[in-house]
Amino acid sequence: MKVRVYVSLKNGVLDPQGRAIQHSLEGLGFSGVRDVRAGRLIELEVDETVTDAQLDEMCQKLLANMVIENYRVERISA
């Protein structure tokens, strides 16, 4: 089973990488970009036996830093 985990910075947390991307887009001539936030996408291939609780635990222990980041888990195929 395929699982996607989306990790993004919480609101209010400074995002220098996102700011750098935004400035680069402006430098390339793109207008209309008001804000950019950079996050991570982690794709897992797991056995059917892996539960949602286990996936949550993986995120909280390793994949996301719960102090500054939020995560969202999405199961792609059963």
Q: How many CB atoms lie within 10 A of CB 58?
A: 19
Minimal distance, residue 21 CB to its own copies, in Å: 7
Given a contact cutoff of 8 angstroms between Cβ atoms, the answer to whether 3 and 11 are in contact is no
The verdict on 21 binding its own copies (CB under 8 A) reads yes
The verdict on 12 binding its own copies (CB under 8 A) reads no
CA of 24: how far to CAs of 4, 18, 35, 78, in Å?
Answer: 28, 10, 12, 40
Task: Lay out the site mask for its own copies across 48-77 (x = CB under 8 A, - = otherwise).
Answer: -xx---x--xx--xxx--------------
Nearer to its own copies, 14 or 45 (CB): 45
